[in-house]
Amino acid sequence: MSIAAAIMAATDKLVSELLRLAGNDSPLAGLRAADVRLIDGGVASTEDNGRHESYRSILARAARDAVTVTGTGSAPLEMLKFAMHSTSAMFCELRVSDVTGEIRVDRLLGSFDCGTILNPKTAASQFRGGMIMGLGLALTEETLFDERSGRIMNATLADYHVPVHLDVPEIEVMWTGIPDPRSPLGARGIGEIGITGVAAAVANAVFNATGKRVRDLPITLDKLL
């Protein structure tokens, strides 16, 4: 999201420069930047797809090998007036052993409102990755200190417990895809929104299963027995 405004500014300049290079002998003659779009390896009219010319043809006529432009995005003034935060709702299904207190998460569902999703594949991966981190926050991750020396007792990944494959359940993600009218391209940041809410969903599911309300993370066996 932070570079979208700059990309949009550069794209506008690129379209204008391509139309200038196309000249009067092009099917695009007479069109302005607002009247065209970049499609199928070239520039086309938004009203008439028949008025189209490839980049190769435009550059060949102009005797150019390439065209380069530089654009600068404007300051995000909308963020000074409006809240631009992404939001999520998390749902968790789990089992708790009545003998050992062991927790097994069977299913996670995350529903997100992050404006326009520009790349569904990478967005889904980011959401799922954050939710896995949220599982670690809820169930396994804890920095342990030696009270006598103040040294960290689990300072390496051999001792600090992060979720592994067998800890990760089926994870489903969905999003609204509703463009934010006040941000470039309608997008908002995803970042670590997948983490937010997972621990609360897990703790609520544990409470629903056991009747014990745990408010000190991670939720370990000793806090349930």
Give the active site residues. 192
Measured distance CA(115)–CA(188) in Å, rounded: 5
Residue with tokens 């935060």, as numbered in its chain? 85
What the block records as the tokens of 87 is: 């939001």
Helix (H, G, I), strand (E, B) or coil at 94: strand
Measured distance CA(225)–CA(221) in Å, rounded: 6
Measured distance CA(61)–CA(76) in Å, rounded: 39
What the block records as the tokens of 56 is: 């190769």
Question: Packing angle between helix 198-210 and helix 120-139, nearest 10 degrees?
Answer: 50
Measured distance CA(216)–CA(203) in Å, rounded: 10
Structural contact between residues 28 and 43, judged by C-beta atoms closer than 8 angstroms? yes
